[in-house]
Amino acid sequence: MENKLAKWSFKKTNNKSAVSIRSVLEAILEKVNEKDAENGRPLIHLGRGDPSLFPCFRTSPVAEDSINASARSAKFNGYSPATGIYPARRSVAEYLSCDLPHKLSPDDVYLTVGANQAIEVIMAVLGRPGVNILLPKPGYPFYEVRAAFSNVEVRHYNLLPEKGWEVDLNGIEALADGNTIAMVVINPGNPCGSVYSHAHLQKIAETAQKLGVLLIADEVYGHLSFGCKPFVAMGQFGSITPVISLGSISKRWILPGWRLGWIATIDPNEVLKKSGIVECLRGYLDIGANPATVIQGAVPQTLEKTPKDFFLNINNMLREAADSCYAKLEDIPCLSCPYKPEGAMSMMVKLNVSLLEDIDDDMDFCVKLAKEELVLVLPGIALGMKNWIRITFAVELASLEDGLKRLKAFWTRHAKKQSCTTADGA
């Protein structure tokens, strides 16, 4: 076997800039020595979107009861159909239809192993020689990774921080050409915490229609909106241009480890069906992995019976955490947040390295912060934004405030002398 494999050249990716959030955070953690911890201080992880580690973000009893009932029923111990079991697809279709002007069918829904597999499937289905896809900057780097493996060229369009991280629509028109096959829109925004208005989403749909491209709506953080703008599903504009919506139970239900996501085709004009994309979706899923059937069996009860108070409580905790984080960052002169989050679980913060001693860039900042203060945040370079950082605020409030206190101490220690004078004088 070794001799046969030797003649092949295996490549991780054809895109050297393609990285994963996990790999970047693990690389930073490798720099942290256990001896760096003083007085038993815990590591405060503000770099990943997994609030399930904190008791205050525990999932609802309904979800716990549903998985127990699914396992004990003995109905979900076998293989699943390629697109997912019918009751689960039906419940997802009904859940999504609540936000749409028309009702989805279970046949419009395809269950996946979390939203990451949904991205993988979409990239594989759309991939062909010469095509390109428009991705937001900053955005979710898994799209770049999967595009690289599917030989899809990536073209980044800008999100505008001064406009609440809205899409630069003029920039999109300049980027797109005859080989542009799709555009990804993440709303609520990861990593920016933005929530788009109905009017802005309609303009995005009209731009996609003008360019003749498919809209991929990443709505993994759907309904996690706690500002003045409610969540609006991109599928409301499916009659303008076809929409493929990606979602999961990971965030709203605080169940990332269940790895249950979906692809939903919202296409009242049947453009996707006529183009063959629907057939390709089913074909790809037929040869891929499926979510655990016992998890699928728990989906109907989880989606249909989780009380509204559970969701209200989650959004209230996220609002309180976002407000606290935004306010405390104002006391750290080297960091500035251009937009207070109104949704999702994270925010983008601008890093001014000119105010710091012995800090070269955002990666250097994050490594030294982890080593000195045992606080982990994500460097913006992982998201294509050098000298920015992403802070995840979906953590227990006491831990968040402790992490921000340590972050301020780090600033004080590394601030240039003239910076400290200015700050004290203010």
pLDDT tens column, 275-329: 999 999 999 999 988 999 999 999 999 999 999 999 999 999 999 999 999 999 9
Residue 228 lies in a domain: yes
- Give the per-residue pLDDT at 48: 87
pLDDT value of residue 138 = 97
Q: Write the single-letter amino acid at 82.
A: A
Structural domain that includes position 392:
17-58+309-413
CA pair distance 369, 377, nearest whole angstrom: 8
Domain boundary among 283, 305, 327: 305
Rounded distance between C-alpha atoms, residue 137 and residue 168, angstroms = 10
Average pLDDT over the chain, rounded to whole?
92
Residues 174 and 133: their CA atoms lie apart, in Å, by 13
Percent of the chain with pLDDT over 70: 92
- Residue 38 has what DSSP assignment? -
What CATH number does the domain containing 87 carry? 3.40.640.10
pTM for this entry: 0.92
Encode pLDDT of 34-44 as tens digits: 665 555 789 99
Crossing angle of helices 293-305/61-73, nearest 10°? 140
Give the pairing of strands 132-137 and 166-167: unpaired
Task: Please give the Cα distance from 285 to 167 (Å, whole number).
Answer: 31
**In this structure, are 258 and 399 located in the same domain?**
no
User: Does residue 95 sit within a domain?
Assistant: yes
- Whether residue 76 lies inside any domain: the answer is yes
Tens digits of per-residue pLDDT, 87-133?
999 999 999 999 999 999 999 999 999 999 999 999 999 998 899 99
pLDDT of residue 1: 40
Q: Which two tokens stand for residue 285?
A: 């899923």
Q: How far apart are the first and last CA of the chain?
A: 69
The pLDDT of residue 32? 85
CATH number for 391:
3.90.1150.10
Instruction: Output the furthest CA–CA distance in the chain (Å, rounded).
Output: 70
Same domain, 106 and 220: yes
Burial of 183 (0-12, 13-18, 19+ CB in 10 A): buried
* Residue 267 within a domain: yes
- Structural domain contains residue 179: yes
- Tell me whether residue 39 is in a domain: yes
- The pLDDT value recorded for residue 22 is 87
DSSP H or E stretch at residue 247: strand 243-248
Cis (ω within 30 of 0) for the bond into 191? yes
